[in-house]
Amino acid sequence: FSSRPPEAKASRTGPLIALESLHQPVWSPRDYASFAREGVMQNAIVFRAVRMVAEAAASVPLLLYEGDMEIEAHPLLDLIARPNPVATAPDLLEAWYGYLLVSGNAYLEAVATGGEIRELYALRPDRMKVVPGSDGWPEAYDYSTTGESVRFAGEVVPGVRPILHVKLFHPANDHYGLSPLEAAATAIDIHNTASRWNKALLDNSARPSGALVYTARDGNLSPEQYERLKSELEAGFQGAAHAGRPLLLEGGLDWKSMSLTPKDMDFIEAKHVAAREIALALGVPPMLLGIPGDNTYSNLQEATRSFWRQTVLPLVDRTAKALSAWLGPAWSERLELRADLDRVEALSPEREALWARLEKASFLTPNEKRAAIGYAPLDEAGSDALRATAPREPKFNPHHDDLGRFTFKPEGDAGNDTEGNDSGIGEVQARPRTPVTIRGRTYLATPAEETELRLAANRAEAALARVRKLDPEWKPAPFLSDPQSARGAITGYTSLAQQAEARALVVERGGVPMGFETREQFVEFGRRAWDTLTESGHRDAEPYLRGSSVTGYSYRTGEAFDAGRRSDLDLAIASPTLIERAEALGVVTRGQGTRTMQLDKDVVEALGLRPLQLRLEADAGRPVPIMIYRSRGDIEARGPSIRLP
């Protein structure tokens, strides 16, 4: 789809490829009509999957940039918004993505009048043929229908060729892309054949194929007897209208089944397996298509986010880059179309997590934070001022009753603890602080701190209301003294909200943390942990789960559990004996000697915990890092946790 003239191809293999079919149309090596007919038009799984991807991708708005500057009004944006008199942007793009998924190829035609591109049309890929030139690049495109053919060549305006061709990767073809339906052809055939077989079985009164065997002494029917029996069976017993009629057999006749029953064939599961393969080929999580038996995603929200991140957005990004390279030179070489991800509702949890991470990044200026999320810099004073950390500023959690009583437990260790809460933050160039009253307490806060404090308090209050409906007896982990700063209050409210949200998540899942599909699976995991600890001689050890399996998201990154990768199950073991042995091995402890960091493999082996780790990782199918705490109270004071059953 390059907009540049086909001058000289860098690769020396181009002329060799061109020798195959110089100046002649290269015909598609497969039957697009059969993909459309047997796949999209006769298979509900393919139809729904293609529609889901095409509609989702077509719904993503495109923004126009020249360098780093967004352009809000431009003829290119007008062209995409209204590509031709009979189609809007979603119409054109849905057809484009649909063609790309069904055939592996998609084509757009640019129509110019008066020296400007005025219209865009999506062309059917089965009617388009590539005509390669002597340099290996496509020299032209032939579009054929109803016995007529038109050749697209040259440029419609300077720098823009008439056809944009985007293809999916094909390992064995130089000119055409590989259709996902071709990769899933066997699964589609199995699914369609199973449906047809089921329909035929129902038409036959749900009776499997069989034969009437004449068991009389000579074993033969007369021609008259044979024809009479055949006509009686066809007239009285075949078809859905005759279902349930009893079959009356005369002397010497016996019915013998000649096929397997649907139950014997595991018929339903075979269709489900085929459906999952089809969904896999098209990049749609099976659970979004209602296919049972595939629960690799802990919930629908994560499956939807995976669908957008791994399937929809790569297609949108590829299309935006292709359109930019194709149409941009008509106005400027620097024009670039980009997807507007801020308007994709499915990605809102990721945006919120990014904002939360940036808010905690004290090493970035406000303008650097704005740049990280694509916003323009502020011109006001202080926007480029760095903020310094105050490692000893108190960390706390509000009391669970009225959000008005706060306590504080000094840590005594700051800096490299990647697991714990963020340290407090002080302003290098502080704005004036004014008194702010939140939930009955007054703090001195800057306007930015006041906004953050109110948001954190509202989040904590909402989380408490939610968890109290589910578990009225629940209480957050207690702390000891009262912080005086607004930053400390923000940290405390955030901690309380995290604890309450984690408890609500677990209660709503029936007491099952993330990473487990059923209560039984979680109980078996816990039983294995307790048994292995006892067998290894660690009789004072109590195992807990902490981290994202309990809260539902990573504290460090803000990403949801299993979002984009397989998350760990963080195992915390309360054992005074083990932590003393760890200290004897030279392991550095944190929190005034109350805990270790994540243990490396050698330390796990030296403490006799390697069998436990291997068994749990085998059961869970995911990594299980281990940390040691001095007591169960130390674990519970660190934040959300679940004691293994």
Buried b (16+ CB within 10 A) or exposed e, 409-427: bebebbeeeebbbbbbbeb
Domain-located, residue 623:
yes
At residue 588, the 3 state secondary structure works out as coil
Per the domain annotation, does 621 fall within a domain? yes
| Top-confidence residue, 432 or 327 | 327
Band of pLDDT at residue 92, cut at 50, 70 and 90: very high
559, pLDDT greater than 80? no
Structure confidence at residue 383 (pLDDT): 52
3-state helix, strand, coil in the chain (%, to 5): 40, 20, 40
Neighbour order of strands in the sheet with 138-145:
128-132, 138-145, 148-152
Residue 404: the pLDDT is 35
Is there a contact between 637 and 592 (Cβ–Cβ < 8 Å)?
no
Residue 315's pLDDT is 96
Q: How confident is the model at residue 223 (pLDDT cuts 50, 70, 90)?
A: confident
Mean pLDDT confidence for 519-528: 88
Higher pLDDT pick, 355 / 77: 77
Residues with Cβ within 8 Å of 545's Cβ and at least 6 positions away in sequence, in order, are 513, 569, 570, 571, 572, 641, 642, 644
Residue 222 has pLDDT above 90, yes or no: no
Q: Which residues pair with 152 in a beta bridge?
A: 141
Least confident of 178-187, 191-200, 568-577: 191-200
**Cα–chain center distance at 161:** 36
The domain total for the chain is: 4
Cα separation, 337 vs 323, in Å, equals 7
Separation between Cα atoms, residue 517 and residue 569, nearest integer Å? 14
Cα separation, 122 vs 93, in Å, equals: 8
Residue 271 in domain: no
Does residue 392 have a pLDDT over 50?
no
**pLDDT at residue 508 greater than cutoff 80:** no
Output the six-digit token pair for 419: 């697991």
Residue 547 and residue 488 share a domain: no
Q: What's the token pair of residue 514?
A: 């993330």
Q: What pLDDT score was predicted for residue 379?
A: 59
pLDDT surpasses 90 at 28: no
Coil, helix or strand at residue 235: helix
pTM: 0.51
pLDDT at 481 over 60: no
Q: How confident is the model at residue 216 (pLDDT cuts 50, 70, 90)?
A: low
Among 31-45, 133-147, 251-265, 467-481, the minimum mean pLDDT is found in 251-265
Both 477 and 538 in a single domain? Answer: no
In this prediction, residues 544-573 reach a mean pLDDT of 74
373 is a domain residue: no
The Cα–Cα gap between 175 and 177 comes to 7
Percent of the chain with pLDDT over 70: 72
Between 125-129, 475-479, 633-637, the lowest mean confidence (pLDDT) is in 475-479
How many Cβ atoms are within 10 Å of 405's Cβ, its own excluded? 13
- Are residue 454 and residue 570 in the same domain, yes or no? no
From 197, 227, 258, the end of a domain falls on 258
CA distances 431 to 426, 443, 452, Å, are: 11, 15, 15
- Residue 270 is assigned to a structural domain of this protein: no
**pLDDT at position 347:** 82
Q: pLDDT at position 284, please?
A: 93
> Residue 7: which pLDDT band, with cuts at 50, 70 and 90?
very low
- The confidence band for 78, taking pLDDT boundaries of 50, 70 and 90, is very high
Which of 454-468, 528-542, 607-621 is predicted least confidently? 454-468
Establish if 380 belongs to a structural domain.
Answer: no
Cα-Cα-Cα-Cα torsion 41, 44, 49, 52, nearest 10 degrees, comes to 90
Of 298, 327, 356, the one marking the end of a domain is 327
Nearest partner of 270 among 178, 385, 193, judged by Cα = 193
Same domain? For 415 and 468 the reply is yes
| Radius of gyration, CA atoms only, the chain | 33
Same domain, 18 and 130: yes
* Pair (504, 533) in one structural domain: no
Q: Assess whether 135 and 31 both reside in one domain.
A: yes
In a domain, 301, yes or no: no
In whole angstroms, give the CA distance from residue 298 to residue 554: 15
pLDDT at 319 over 70: yes
Neighbours of 257 (CB within 10 A): 11
pLDDT at 244: 46
On whether the CB atoms of residues 278 and 101 are closer than 8 A, the answer is no
Q: Which domain holds residue 637?
A: 519-643
pLDDT over threshold 60, residue 11: no
Question: What local confidence, expressed as pLDDT, does residue 445 receive?
Answer: 81
> How far apart (Å, rounded) are the C-alpha atoms in residues 331 and 283?
35
Confidence at residue 591, expressed as pLDDT on a 0 to 100 scale: 77
The Cβ of residue 498 has, within 10 Å, a number of other Cβ atoms equal to 23
Cα distance between residue 75 and residue 335, in whole Å: 12
Token pair recorded at residue 508 = 């709503």
DSSP H helical ranges for 35-162: 44-58, 75-81, 89-103
Same domain for 478 and 558? no
Tell me, what DSSP letter sits at residue 443? Answer: E
Structure tokens at 387: 């903020």
For 236-269, the pLDDT digits (tens) are: 555 545 444 555 555 556 666 655 555 555 667 7
Residue 429's pLDDT is 41
How are beta strands 396-398 and 105-113 bridged, if at all? unpaired
Q: How far apart are CA 499 and CA 234, in angstroms?
A: 70
Average pLDDT for the chain: 76
Q: In this structure, are 504 and 563 located in the same domain?
A: no
Of the pLDDT bands very low, low, confident and very high (cuts 50, 70, 90), residue 212 is low
Lowest mean pLDDT among 389-403, 512-526, 601-615: 389-403
Most confident of 9-13, 259-263, 497-501: 497-501
486 and 530 housed in the same domain: no
Task: Give the confidence band of 33 by pLDDT, cuts at 50, 70, 90.
Answer: confident
Structure-model confidence comparison of residues 396 and 566, the more confident one: 566
Q: Check residue 104 and give its pLDDT.
A: 92
| pLDDT for the residue numbered 483 | 54
Per-residue pLDDT at 166 exceeds 90? yes
59: in domain: yes
Same-domain check for residues 174 and 220: no
The single residue listed with the structure tokens 């009776």 is 207
Both tokens of residue 156? Answer: 């419609």
Q: How far apart are CA 639 and CA 395, in angstroms?
A: 12
> 36-40, 224-228, 274-278, 631-635: lowest mean pLDDT where?
224-228
Q: Do 489 and 541 fall within a single domain?
A: no
